[in-house]
Amino acid sequence: MTQRVGIKDVARVAGVSAATVSLVLNDRAADRIPPSTQERVRLAAQEIGYAPNRLARSLRTRRTHTIGLVSDRIATTPYAVRMVEAAQDVARERGYLLFLVNTGGDPALERDAVAALLDQQVDGLVYACMWHRVLDDLPENLPADAVFLDARPATGGFPAVVPDDRGGAVAAVQELVDAGHRRIAFIDIDEEPPPVASGLRREGYLEVLRRAGIEPDPALHVRGVSDAAGGMAAASRVLDLPAERRPTALFCFNDRIAMGAYAAARHHGLEIPTDLSVVGYDDQQLIAAELDPGLTTVRLPHYEMGRWAVEVLLGARERPTDEDGVVLMPCPLVRRDSVAPPPTREPGRRRG
């Protein structure tokens, strides 16, 4: 890892001073230095394979061209990994290198991570969460120009980007209403405190019902543990309802719940989408695309959010003018094969 050739080696070979080399190689030469000399310097640099020591350069210029991404768990879980990818992509495109730190949500580690990154003189910091969160307390050493990703400080004051969970839910439920469904259950997750996304998606769900003139049935809003087993149990509860109250469609809080709903449907002898329509949320590749039939779901715009955050951080995109600086990233509906019109007759008991 030892830096072999330095600027003065280039200078020696080209027969000029280090200052000249620096000027030429940074294109600060403009018209001060004749093309002949420039050529000579560049050739020398090329020849001996010179690459500037960025530490030295950064020390002087006070810009490191590095940014830090501190997250609770993104780099840890398969869930929101594309936010990291996006951040990385933007960083690379703009000539930046990305420091990645995972804190697991531990405030002490968070503080240390921020401090370590600042000591490294990073040019900017992104604070990211795995799930859409509203943060009550932040690391107190967070620089004023940090950007939030998939999270926003309760107090505002920082640029932040979060998914438009409400809008996504509207799209999902509207899809069901448009297919002709009137009895639509919401299979929510059972967590305390309820995640931000839960409340927002419920709002979207209720809004569509209201607009469609459908009276929400409290029995159709159930909660389950956020995994396939929980989804199956919760879905079973609504599918067990007497025929006239039973839903013809399920809006699931996420794809894992939807996976459980598929199982519940099977156990009830219902075929998807003929007898029962299902919509999920998250568009988890390993689930939504692999289920049979493919799950219609709402995609979380992780990549787009990741890009947004770093672009704003690097000044490549203008900060939101919005009062609290929060941007809602749209969650597009991904149509697959789990939605169909409701059955016209009593669902038949076909072979599962």
Partner DNA sequence: GCACAACGCTAAATCGGTTTAACAAAACGG
Partner DNA sequence: CCGTTTTGTTAAACCGATTTAGCGTTGTGC
Binding site for DNA (CB under 7 A): 3, 5-8, 15-23, 25-26, 28, 31-34, 37, 52-53, 56-57, 59-62
The stretch near a second copy (CB under 8 A) out of 152-160, 182-190, 193-201, 260-268 is: 260-268
The answer to the question of residue 18 lying near a second copy (CB under 8 A) is no
Indicate the helix (H) or strand (E) that contains 5: none
The answer to the question of residue 9 lying near a second copy (CB under 8 A) is no
84 touches, from DNA, a second copy, none (C-beta below 5 to 8 Å by class): a second copy
* CA 146-152-157 angle, 5° bins: 55
64 touches, from a second copy, DNA, none (C-beta below 5 to 8 Å by class): a second copy
Contacts of 218 by beta carbon, 8 Å cutoff, 6+ apart: none
Sign (positive/negative) of CA torsion 219, 223, 228, 233?
negative
d(C-alpha 258, C-alpha 334), whole Å: 14
Check: CB of residue 105 under 8 Å from CB of residue 72.
yes
7 touches, from a second copy, DNA, none (C-beta below 5 to 8 Å by class): DNA
- CA atoms within 13 Å, Cβ hemisphere of 298: 28
Among left, alpha and beta (phi > 0; psi -120 to 50; other), residue 18 is alpha
Determine which residue in the list 19, 55, 154, 219 makes contact with a second copy, applying CB under 8 A. 55
Helix extents (H) in 141-280 = 165-178, 196-211, 228-239, 255-267
Cβ burial of 281 (10 Å; 0-12, 13-18, 19+) is: buried
25 touches, from a second copy, DNA, none (C-beta below 5 to 8 Å by class): DNA
d(C-alpha 278, C-alpha 255), whole Å: 10
190 touches, from a second copy, DNA, none (C-beta below 5 to 8 Å by class): none
Instruction: Provide the terminal-to-terminal Cα distance of the chain, rounded to the nearest Å.
Output: 62
Q: Minimum Å distance from CB 296 to a second copy?
A: 16
The answer to the question of residue 17 lying near a second copy (CB under 8 A) is no
Determine which residue in the list 5, 18, 33, 76 makes contact with a second copy, applying CB under 8 A. 76
Determine which residue in the list 178, 191, 240, 290 makes contact with a second copy, applying CB under 8 A. 290
d(C-alpha 176, C-alpha 109), whole Å: 44
The answer to the question of residue 189 lying near a second copy (CB under 8 A) is no
Binding-site string for a second copy from residue 103 to residue 142, where x marks contact by CB under 8 A and - marks none = ------x---x-xxxxxxxxxx------------------
Q: Minimum Å distance from CB 123 to a second copy?
A: 6
Determine which residue in the list 289, 319, 320, 332 makes contact with a second copy, applying CB under 8 A. 289
User: Which of 83/172 has CB closer to a second copy?
Assistant: 83
